[in-house]
């Protein structure tokens, strides 16, 4: 029996991973949560939890010192960047120091380190923080001789994940608009695939090579695959919007007249600036004044009418991100098989039932 | 599994026939409202802007890169178009109505449609129902569409009464003040200028066929009415409903239309909006807001745009829009009846 510590087990991903690991043969899952309130849900589902502060080295040692594998989903997120950074780094230091000698440690990172929403590599603060934390984690593991696994998680799909709830809602509403008709890779991963990777680290002989992996369904699922999967699960048809029914955030950009419209549109919404420009306009001939004023009204009308036209249109359900080239974590079964292999308790599967309207 | 299905988006105009449009009258309402809106409308080509004053015609038309036309005594010189916006003073409109009816040109007329009910009815007889409309653009407000639905479907029980309170301390017309000072031109007077809109809303929301004045109090400033406080009865297919109407240029008003139902009061703003406010009958302090998604206009330009789109769609399909002139007759009759009663007994 391998004992497996899950740090941050009351987070969205940590909770579902803990639940899916609960009944895996040969594994004893040990969710570690700061307080009993945080672990109530897991405990109510029959999962025993440990409580304490993993940022405290002494407490961390007693919490995870007897575990064979440590998986770190913990993330401080107080919205005070300095405090979060210090806490997250402290958790890494403390975890590596407290883990049983030679125990593999998994650090949950993110594909945001690739800045998938940008054409150039410029990660957001979350991605950058994770990137720095990855380096720190690898160095700490190297020094203390722990096999280090970095999992860069894609959009996580699963019974308890917000993205899944959102997708199901959109399928039910019959309003699904996908960029590139849904044919672009989704960069998603199912919780069951994360579980499978953890199980492989815990149980497979020889153990997978330590390293940095992109935990993304491989071969990649397109967004159309993902929505089709959930539509089938709900027993509903997937209704895709036609291109002309989709709100285009880039419409009207590019031409010189569009540039003028943007300037006038900006002025229409910034009265402080408009009022100051008015002083200088008064030096121009009356005919030019009138023409500019009417053009301003024309722009304002167009903006308001465009807003009205867009009312009928649907927004893209997902962001139009780059497809990532995946450094996959070895061989895995397809997501449907994995979700069946590591089920969540049936009481949680309310979202998959086809509720009457 | 994947089913490609269309939503009910109004994307069907792209292939519709392009209609030519002439504009007669180049006043403030045209240059500030209609032209900005029309230049954003799909499926039309603005052929000309005409005015008696050549300089005004040139200036306004030039600003929108449209051909100016000076209106001479011979109206036949006006270019032929599919549709015309008629925005000259109401007392000068009759020859235009006759000309466009003869030509088969569809007309959207700024309110008021005519000086009185008899003339309005006569004009309606000159045109097919779909081809003559009157500019009561408030009918396209999102809140008004919602209020009409609440009444039609009895969401809150039977509608018992309506109370209108609209106006402000000053007129702040933003337009040539002579127009508002000249009652003879038909533009002057708070009832004709502002009150007709709120009366029309009450009539439109309830789908009333008639609004009968029972009592009224006017404040006249010479020939021009500056305030009216009136009590009317609305006749609808489901019975009658009391209507109190205060419209003023002399003091602040709530600028709302209150619909009193059996179970609650619904407040509709006189300004463009998507929402209505609901108050319980027991405790008027508790307010809830109700929104109908994608119901209609939430700004003035959107209101005029929807008015135009509805009218032009009606022209293409030969189906009367909700702005058709015949549907405005009860409003015109109520305004006229109030003025007549007011002059007899102000």
* CA B24/CA A30 separation, integer angstroms: 81
CA-atom Rg of chain A in angstroms: 26
* Average confidence score pLDDT of chain B: 88
Burial class of B2 by CB neighbour count within 10 A (0 to 12, 13 to 18, 19+): middle
Local confidence band at B185 (pLDDT 50, 70, 90 cut-offs): low
Give the alpha-carbon dihedral of A47, A49, A55, A61, to 10 degrees: -120
Local confidence band at B181 (pLDDT 50, 70, 90 cut-offs): low
User: Which pLDDT does position A258 carry in this prediction?
Assistant: 62
Task: Count Cβ–Cβ pairs < 8 Å, chain A vs chain B.
Answer: 88
Residue B13: pLDDT over 90? no
Question: What would the mean pLDDT of B287-316 be, rounded to a whole number?
Answer: 92
Interface probe, candidates A228, A308, A314, A336, chain B, greatest B C-beta count within 10 A: A308
Interface of A with B (CB under 8 A): 174-175, 224, 228, 231-232, 237-242, 244-245, 287, 290-291, 294-295, 297-298, 300-302, 304-308, 311-314
Collapse the DSSP code of A353 into the 3-class scheme (helix H, G, I; strand E, B; otherwise coil) and give the result.
coil
Report residue A212 as tokens.
């940095």
Question: What would the mean pLDDT of A41-63 be, rounded to a whole number?
Answer: 93
Burial class of A57 by CB neighbour count within 10 A (0 to 12, 13 to 18, 19+): middle
Question: Which ipTM value was assigned to this complex?
Answer: 0.79
Collapse the DSSP code of B175 into the 3-class scheme (helix H, G, I; strand E, B; otherwise coil) and give the result.
coil
User: Which pLDDT does position A330 carry in this prediction?
Assistant: 82
* Cα B176 to chain centroid, rounded: 20
Span B304-325, pLDDT tens digits: 999 999 999 999 999 999 999 9
Report residue B90 as tokens.
């109401």
Q: Pick from A237, A287, A304: which is nearest to B1 by CB? A: A237
* CA B44/CA A346 separation, integer angstroms: 59
User: Which pLDDT does position B173 carry in this prediction?
Assistant: 46
Residue B257: pLDDT over 60? yes
- Percent of chain A's residues with pLDDT above 90: 60
Local confidence band at B183 (pLDDT 50, 70, 90 cut-offs): low
Helix A57-64, helix A81-98: angle, nearest 10? 50
β-strands A50-51, A188-190: how paired?
unpaired
Please list every residue in chain B whose beta carbon sits closer than 8 Å to the beta carbon of residue A238: 1-3
* CA B195/CA A331 separation, integer angstroms: 75
Residue B254: pLDDT over 60? yes
Question: What would the mean pLDDT of B240-260 be, rounded to a whole number?
Answer: 93
Find the residue in B nearest to A226 (Cα).
B2
Collapse the DSSP code of B311 into the 3-class scheme (helix H, G, I; strand E, B; otherwise coil) and give the result.
helix
User: Which pLDDT does position B7 carry in this prediction?
Assistant: 29
Please list every residue in chain B whose beta carbon sits closer than 8 Å to the beta carbon of residue A298: 35-36, 39-40, 64
Task: Tell me if A244 and B9 make a contact (CB, 8 A cut-off).
Answer: yes
Local confidence band at A355 (pLDDT 50, 70, 90 cut-offs): very low
User: Which pLDDT does position B313 carry in this prediction?
Assistant: 95
What would the DSSP string read from start to end of A93-134?
HHHHHHSPTT--EEEEEEGGGG-TTSSSS---HHHHHHHHHH
Tokens 């979060």 locate to: A84
User: Which pLDDT does position B1 carry in this prediction?
Assistant: 32
Which backbone phi and psi does B237 adopt, to 5 degrees?
-65, -20
Tokens 């053009």 locate to: A295
User: Which pLDDT does position B322 carry in this prediction?
Assistant: 96
- Which residues, 6+ apart, have CB-to-CB distance to A132 below 8 Å? none
Question: What domains are there in chain A, each with its CATH number?
Answer: 2-242+319-352 (3.40.50.720), 248-311 (no CATH)
Report residue B158 as tokens.
């039977």
Question: What would the mean pLDDT of A24-39 be, rounded to a whole number?
Answer: 93
User: Which pLDDT does position B16 carry in this prediction?
Assistant: 67
Local confidence band at A269 (pLDDT 50, 70, 90 cut-offs): low
Interface probe, candidates B26, B62, B63, chain A, greatest A C-beta count within 10 A: B63
* CA A97/CA A91 separation, integer angstroms: 10
Find the residue in A nearest to B298 (Cα).
A308
Which of A278-287, B25-34, B198-207, B234-243 comes out lowest in average pLDDT?
A: A278-287
Report residue A182 as tokens.
């849904």
List for chain A the helix, strand, coil content (%; round to 5): 50, 15, 35
Span A12-31, pLDDT tens digits: 999 999 999 999 999 999 99
Contact A83, A76 (CB under 8 A): yes
Q: Is the pTM of this model over 0.80?
A: no
Local confidence band at B108 (pLDDT 50, 70, 90 cut-offs): very high
Question: What would the mean pLDDT of A161-182 be, rounded to a whole number?
Answer: 92
Task: Tell me if B10 and A312 make a contact (CB, 8 A cut-off).
Answer: yes
Residues β-bridged to residue B22: B48, B84
- Percent of chain A's residues with pLDDT above 70: 89
Local confidence band at A352 (pLDDT 50, 70, 90 cut-offs): very low
Contact B143, B273 (CB under 8 A): yes
Residues β-bridged to residue B51: B70
My answer on whether omega of the bond before B294 falls inside 30° of 0, hence cis, is no
Local confidence band at B211 (pLDDT 50, 70, 90 cut-offs): very high
Give the alpha-carbon dihedral of A340, A346, A352, A357, to 10 degrees: 160
Report residue B196 as tokens.
């007709």
Local confidence band at B164 (pLDDT 50, 70, 90 cut-offs): very high
Question: What would the mean pLDDT of B9-33 be, rounded to a whole number?
Answer: 79
Local confidence band at A205 (pLDDT 50, 70, 90 cut-offs): confident
User: Which pLDDT does position B172 carry in this prediction?
Assistant: 45
Span A117-166, pLDDT tens digits: 888 888 888 999 999 999 999 999 999 999 999 999 999 999 999 999 99
Any idea what DSSP says for residue B157? B
With CA atoms as reference, report the closest residue to B143 among B283, B258, B220: B258
Find the residue in B nearest to A307 (Cα).
B302
Tokens 């935990």 locate to: A215
Local confidence band at A221 (pLDDT 50, 70, 90 cut-offs): very high
- The domain at B142-297 falls in which architecture? 2-Layer Sandwich (3.30)
Tokens 């549709």 locate to: B83
User: Which pLDDT does position B293 carry in this prediction?
Assistant: 73
Residue A73: pLDDT over 50? yes
User: Which pLDDT does position A262 carry in this prediction?
Assistant: 67
Q: Distance of CA A34 to CAs A29, A85, A89, A347, B169, Å?
A: 16, 18, 17, 25, 63
The domains of chain B are located at 142-297
Which of A225-239, A313-327, B31-45 comes out lowest in average pLDDT?
A: A313-327
Any idea what DSSP says for residue B16? S
Question: What would the mean pLDDT of A33-53 be, rounded to a whole number?
Answer: 91
């Amino acid at each position: 029996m391998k004992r497996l510590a899950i740090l941050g087990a009351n987070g969205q991903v940590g909770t579902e991973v803990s639940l899916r690991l609960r009944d895996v043969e040969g594994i004893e899952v040990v969710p570690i949560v700061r307080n009993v309130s945080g672990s109530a849900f897991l405990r109510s589902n029959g999962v025993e939890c440990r409580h304490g502060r993993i940022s405290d080295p002494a407490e961390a040692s007693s919490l995870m010192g007897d575990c064979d594998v440590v998986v770190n989903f913990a993330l401080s997120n107080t919205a005070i960047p300095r405090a979060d950074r210090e806490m997250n780094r402290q958790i890494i230091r403390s975890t590596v120091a407290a883990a049983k000698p030679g125990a593999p440690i998994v650090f949950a990172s993110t594909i945001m380190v690739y800045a998938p929403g940008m054409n150039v590599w410029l990660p957001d603060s979350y991605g950058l923080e994770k990137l720095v934390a990855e380096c720190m984690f690898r160095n700490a593991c190297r020094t203390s001789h722990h096999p280090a696994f970095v999992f860069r998680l894609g959009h996580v799909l699963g019974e308890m994940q917000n993205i899944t709830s959102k997708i199901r809602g959109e399928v039910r509403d019959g309003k699904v608009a996908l960029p590139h008709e849904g044919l672009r890779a989704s960069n998603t991963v199912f919780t069951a695939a994360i579980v499978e990777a953890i199980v492989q680290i815990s149980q497979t002989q020889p153990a997978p090579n330590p390293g940095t992996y992109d935990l993304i369904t491989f071969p990649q699922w397109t967004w159309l695959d993902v929505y089709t999967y959930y539509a089938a699960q709900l027993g509903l048809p997937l209704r895709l919007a036609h291109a002309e029914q989709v709100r285009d955030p880039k419409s009207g950009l590019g031409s010189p007249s569009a540039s003028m419209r943007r300037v006038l549109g900006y002025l229409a919404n910034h009265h402080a600036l408009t009022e100051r420009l008015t002083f200088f306009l008064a030096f121009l001939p009356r005919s030019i004044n009138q023409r500019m004023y009417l053009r301003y009204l024309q722009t304002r009308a167009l903006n308001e009418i465009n807003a009205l036209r867009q009312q009928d249109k649907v927004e893209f359900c997902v962001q139009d991100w780059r497809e990532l080239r995946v450094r996959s974590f070895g061989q895995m079964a397809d997501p449907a098989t994995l979700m069946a292999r590591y089920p969540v308790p049936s009481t949680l599967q309310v979202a998959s039932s086809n509720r009457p309207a | 599994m994947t089913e490609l299905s269309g939503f009910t988006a109004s994307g069907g105009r792209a292939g519709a026939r392009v209609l030519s449009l002439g504009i007669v009258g180049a006043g403030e309402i045209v240059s500030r409202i209609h032209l900005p809106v029309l230049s954003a409308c799909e499926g039309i080509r603005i052929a000309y802007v005409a005015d008696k004053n050549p300089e005004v015609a040139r200036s306004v038309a030039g600003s929108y890169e449209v051909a100016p036309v000076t209106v001479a005594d011979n109206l036949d010189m006006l270019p032929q178009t599919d549709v015309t916006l008629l925005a000259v003073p109401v007392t000068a409109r009759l020859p235009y109505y006759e000309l466009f009816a003869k030509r088969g040109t569809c007309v959207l007329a700024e309110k008021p449609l005519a000086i009185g009910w008899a003339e309005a009815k006569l004009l309606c007889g000159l045109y097919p129902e779909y081809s003559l409309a009157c500019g009561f653009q408030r009918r396209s407000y999102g809140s008004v569409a919602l209020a009409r639905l609440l009444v039609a479907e009895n969401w809150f029980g039977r509608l018992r009464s309506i109370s209108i309170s609209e106006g402000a301390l000053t007129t702040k017309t933003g337009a040539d003040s002579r127009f508002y000072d000249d009652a003879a031109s038909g533009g002057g007077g708070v009832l004709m200028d502002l009150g007709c809109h709120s009366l029309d809303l009450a009539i439109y929301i309830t789908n009333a066929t008639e609004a009968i004045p029972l009592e009224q109090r006017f404040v006249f400033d010479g020939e021009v009415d500056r305030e009216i406080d009136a009590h009317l009865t609305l006749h609808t297919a489901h019975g009658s409903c009391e209507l109190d109407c205060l419209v003023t240029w002399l003091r602040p008003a709530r600028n709302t239309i209150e619909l009193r139902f059996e179970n609650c009061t619904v407040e509709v703003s006189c300004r463009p909006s998507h929402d209505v406010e609901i108050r319980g009958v027991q405790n008027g302090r508790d307010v809830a807001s109700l929104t109908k998604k994608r119901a209609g206009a939430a700004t003035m330009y959107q209101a005029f745009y929807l008015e135009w789109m509805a009218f032009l769609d009606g022209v293409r399909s030969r189906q009367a829009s909700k702005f058709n002139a015949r549907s405005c007759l009860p409003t015109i009759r109520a305004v006229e009846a109030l003025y007549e009663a007011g002059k007899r007994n102000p």
